[in-house]
Amino acid sequence: MEPKNVSLEMRDYIAEMGAETINWCMQCGLCTNLCPWRLVPGETSEHFNIRHMQRLGQMGMEGFEDEKSLFACSTCGMCQSNCPRGVKIIDNVRAMRSSIVGAGMPPANLRPVLGGAHANGNPWSGPREKRVDWQQGLDVPSFGPDKEYFLFVCCHSCYDPRSTKIARSIVRLLNHAGVSYGVIGAEESCCAESVRKVGDEELFQKLAQSNIDLFKAKGVAKIITTSPHCLWTFQNEYPEMGGEWEVVHYAQLLAQLIEDGRLSFPAGTEQNVAFHDPCYLGRHSGIYDAPRELLEKACGGAVNELERTRERSLCCAGGGGRIWAEIPMGERFAELRIVDACNRGAQVLATSCPYCVNMLTDACKSLDRQEVLDIKDIAELLAAALP
Ligand code: SF4
Ligand code: SF4
């Protein structure tokens, strides 16, 4: 990675786009050492150095735009939560990416993704009218003033056939517990968390504003999210645009329903179940106990804790737009996670994020471990354990 030019305009631009703490960096290198890219071999790992990236940003240097540099960060937060100077590394990465994407030069793999989100309101290029297809054969209420919660289903779980099973399981659980909730459907747009992380600020603003206007018009007061990415952006990014609601991840709500005696699971799976903490549920949102409490109910026993767990959880590599990256076998963080789970004797690796399910399922296949390890969202395990 050889930077080409020093540009004061570039330095000012990225500061304006959110890299407000970039000058706090003292170049200690702890971030680079903690980054999961240090755990895998390959060209991207050799290229990508987050400490160096902070330096380039500080100096306003250009030339960091290739995919294996700036766009390799999965925004897992491991570096940021341990930085001794409190540098908001992810905001810096996002701001630097926006200098490239805002100039109309996103990496080739992101072009159809962003184009699809512009055209259809979601990055999976699913037609709007098909956003509700995952509901087929299920009783899914429509949201209205008589409903307590609005259920916002992640675009991935609206369109991806594997992922729709997660949304369907959540609906079965909410129906069983008699929760007052509803969905809006085709008018919803992507929460745009990943869109902003890849640096398309304009598209993020457009999608977020259309959701804020829609939710306000429908009278939404409380939101249940199926993905921790939607949770995070609704809680941390929408308020500055005027969108403020009470937002919970479904795992938090289900744990509360169990405590209130509205949900119980007579049949445990009796399988050895390990839990993978999603970065955006754990490190970014501080939710560690609710998914474990749920799993203990579904499994009828203690959760098998992986070696790198809770605050030290290993990223699946699906955040920050990396779910759309092509990574060669042998260089995927999620493969390390599969090995972690197998080494602990787990039969099921559970998680609570559609991106994690996607990345871990692919890694399990690439390592040919699908006969010995099942990848499940906890909602699927819970729905299967319902009486
Ligand atoms: S961002 Fe933080 S951890 Fe990384 S080099 Fe700078 S001061 Fe050190
Ligand atoms: S957020 Fe995660 S992937 Fe990105 S630089 Fe930090 S540790 Fe590495």
Q: How far is the CA of 106 from the centre of ligand 1 (A)?
A: 26
Ligand nearest to the CA of 313: 2
Q: Which residues contact 198 (CB under 8 A, 6 or more apart)?
A: 71, 97, 101, 106, 110, 113, 114, 320, 321
The SS3 call for residue 95 is: helix
The SS3 call for residue 248 is: strand
**C-alpha pair distances (Å), 287 with each of 103, 198, 378:** 37, 24, 14
Q: Which of 35, 73, 89, 92 for a ligand 1 pocket mutation test, highest count of atoms within 8 Å of Cβ?
A: 89
CA 331, 333, 334, 339 dihedral sign is positive
Parse the chain into domains and list their residue ranges: 8-101, 109-256, 264-384
Ligand 2 contact via 279 beta carbon (within 6 Å): no
Which element (helix H / strand E) includes 361? helix 354-366
Do the first three CATH levels of 109-256 and 264-384 match, i.e. the same topology?
Answer: yes
Q: How far is the CA of 131 from the centre of ligand 1 (A)?
A: 42
Residue 377 tokens read as 């969202």
Predicted pLDDT at 38: 97
pTM: 0.96
Domain at 8-101: CATH architecture: Orthogonal Bundle (1.10)
Domain covering 264-384 in this structure, CATH number: 3.40.50
Closest CA to 225 of 280, 273, 301: 280
Fold exhibited by the domain 109-256:
Rossmann fold (3.40.50)
Q: How far is the CA of 157 from the centre of ligand 2 (A)?
A: 25
Predicted pLDDT at 65: 64
Atom of ligand 1 lying closest to residue 32 CA: 4
Residue 202 tokens read as 């304009």
Q: In what order do the strands lie in the sheet with 273-275?
A: 304-305, 273-275, 348-351, 374-377
Taking only the tens place, the pLDDT of each residue in 79-129 is 999 999 999 999 999 999 999 999 899 999 999 999 999 999 999 999 999
In order, the DSSP letters of 1-35 are -----B-HHHHHHHHHTT-TTGGG-----HHHHHS
Q: How far is the CA of 28 from the centre of ligand 2 (A)?
A: 15
Name which residue sits closest to atom 7 of ligand 2, judged by CA: 35
**Residues 99 and 19 sit within 8 Å (Cβ to Cβ):** no
- Measure the CA angle with vertex 331, ends 329 and 335; round to 5°: 75
Which element (helix H / strand E) includes 55? helix 50-59
Name which residue sits closest to atom 4 of ligand 1, judged by CA: 31
**Residues 272 and 343 sit within 8 Å (Cβ to Cβ):** no
Closest CA to 76 of 254, 275, 307, 321: 321
Q: Which residues contact 239 (CB under 8 A, 6 or more apart)?
A: none
Name which residue sits closest to atom 2 of ligand 2, judged by CA: 76
- Residue written as token pair 């992380």: 197
Name which residue sits closest to atom 6 of ligand 1, judged by CA: 25
Q: How far apart are the first and last CA of the chain?
A: 57
Ligand 2 contact via 50 beta carbon (within 6 Å): yes
Separation of alpha carbons 95 and 201, rounded Å: 9
Separation of alpha carbons 344 and 146, rounded Å: 47
Ligand 2 contact via 325 beta carbon (within 6 Å): no
Separation of alpha carbons 202 and 149, rounded Å: 29
Q: How far is the CA of 80 from the centre of ligand 1 (A)?
A: 8
Residue 295 identity:
L
Taking only the tens place, the pLDDT of each residue in 82-95 is 999 999 999 999 99
Which parts of the chain have pLDDT scores under 70? 1-6, 63-68, 267-269
Predicted pLDDT at 4: 59
Phi and psi at 366, nearest 5°, equal -65, -25
Residues in the chain: 387
